[in-house]
Structure 1
Amino acid sequence: MPRLSYVFTIFFLTLGPIKTIPTFYRLTQAATPKFRNQVALQSGIISTAVCIFIAFVGRNTLAKWQISLEALQLSGGLILLLFALKVITMQPQPMGGQKVTADTPLSKTFALALSPLTTPVIITPYGVVAILFYMVVAQGNPALEWKILAFIVLMMGLNYLGIVFADKIMKVIGIPVLLLVGWVFAIMQAALAIEIMLGAFNRLGVIHIPSNP
């Protein structure tokens, strides 16, 4: 059974609000409060529904394809590592032009909530891998499944709160601090990715990792 603190960390790094807040702020900083609130609510509902869909339908599909847990560990760890390295080596980019103005109609909120917010900002490729991996691990253990699902819902709730308070958060923290936090989390993600791949090699008998005393 995986450590729940470890699961929470992985989900926070892959599905959490750190990446969502600056994107939403950049896109909607000129929008009306009503527009921003509607986008926040819609993206929260859509992203939660998509995550639950991935958790059950994706896991069942993997089972039908008979994909091993080790294969999922290696592919997931590699994806996590590649995206972490991309963040670490990426040069800071200036915030782009405003995508939404005060004149943008409310009918445009759903499209914005769906893309780019739900995908690929909130639900990242490596977030999908994390959901699939832990749902496969939890298969046959209803108590663990519910805890995994609770973590997923919690992450979507944190994204919602991050979006709602994005303007206040950005004014207090600012871009430089947020970039620094992003780099720190990317380094943590890279380390966790390597840990996941080492775990797969250990399960396959390629290497031996002694158990903690």
Structure 2
Amino acid sequence: MNVLDVRFLLEVFVTLFVIVDPPGTIPIFMALTNTMAAKQRSRAALVATGVGMLVIVGFAVFGQFILTYMHITLPALQFAGGLLLLLIALQLLAGQEGEMAATDGVNVALVPLGTPLLGGPGAIVAVMLFVNRAGGEGPKIAGIVVALLAIALMMYTFMRFSGVIARVLGDGGVTLVTRISGVLLSAISVQMLFDSVHSVLQTWGVIAAS
């Protein structure tokens, strides 16, 4: 009897890797932590990873109950995440990223790194769907657990060693990356807003389902 569904594990891992995009967090992490010392940056990476996984696992287990109990739809969750990311993006574009970094490096690790960047609507919805597909089957549940652990390791590794990249780029390079990450984050946030509105319009029958 198989104790682990490897095929299902790979499907979960690849899906979450594309959604969370650990390499893509490097410029954003650098932008939000460039005023921190190496120790603070390492702690922020660890806290962000822990928070992101806590959010994802929490919704995997209790997500449907939470949303139903609070009368929250998935598009509403996605819209809220998009607004939050847009606010962060505007601060990055305005050069105010230093104001977001708390002295102990915890604040930016919680928001926006932990959530909604790592533990965001996309990852939450994907994991909830995979849990439904698993249907309580042991090998598939084990595959989800292993995939989540692998994603957590990837998250931490890419953020933990972003300092090496920062030293290579220098102050000017980090500033450039900060502005670019602001543009990318703004685009991601606007796309999240568009997707949430599109889902609502489909639900209301204003537009046809694609």
The interval holding the TM-score normalised by the smaller chain is 0.5 to 0.7
1:164-203 alignment runs, 5 A limit: 164-171=164-171, 173-199=173-199, 201-202=201-202
Distance, in Å, in 2 between the alignment partners of 1:73 and 1:188 is 17
> Cα–Cα, structure 1 residues 117 and 188, in superposed 2: closer, same or farther, change >3 Å?
closer
Per-residue CA distance 1:1-22 (angstroms, 9 max, x = gap): 9998775454239x82332212
1:3-22 matched pairs, under 5 angstroms: 7-12=16-21, 16-22=25-31
Answering whether residue 140 of structure 2 is matched by residue 139 of structure 1, we say: no
Does residue 129 (structure 1) correspond to residue 120 (structure 2)? The answer is yes
Please tell me whether the aligned partners of residues 88 and 186 of structure 1 are also in contact (alpha carbons under 8 angstroms): yes
Q: CA deviation at 1:154?
A: 1.9
User: Paired residue for 1:157?
Assistant: 157
The code of the aligned residue for 1:16 comes to T
Q: 1:47 to 1:39 in 2, by over 3 A?
A: same
* Bigger share in helix: 2
Any stretches of 5+ residues in structure 2 without a counterpart?
1-7, 135-139
Alpha-carbon displacement from aligned partner over 1:185-210 (angstroms, at most 9, x marks no partner): 421442244235534654x4633233
Q: Using the alignment, how far apart are the partners of 1:62 and 1:26 within structure 2?
A: 35
In 2, Cα distance between equivalents of 1:197 and 1:156: 32
2:79 is matched with 78
Alignment correspondent of 2:57: 56
**Is the 2:86–2:189 Cα contact (8 Å) retained in structure 1?**
no
- Deviation for aligned residue 1:88: 5.6
Q: What is the TM-score normalised by the length of structure 2?
A: 0.64
Q: Which runs of no fewer than 5 residues in structure 1 stay unpaired?
A: 29-35, 101-110
Seq. identity, %: 9
Contact persistence 2:45–2:159 (CA under 8 A): yes
Q: With structure 1 as the length reference, what TM-score do the two structures score?
A: 0.63
Deviation readout 1:103-135 (Å, 9 max, x if unpaired):
xxxxxxxx724x134222421345433342222
Q: CA RMSD in A?
A: 4.0
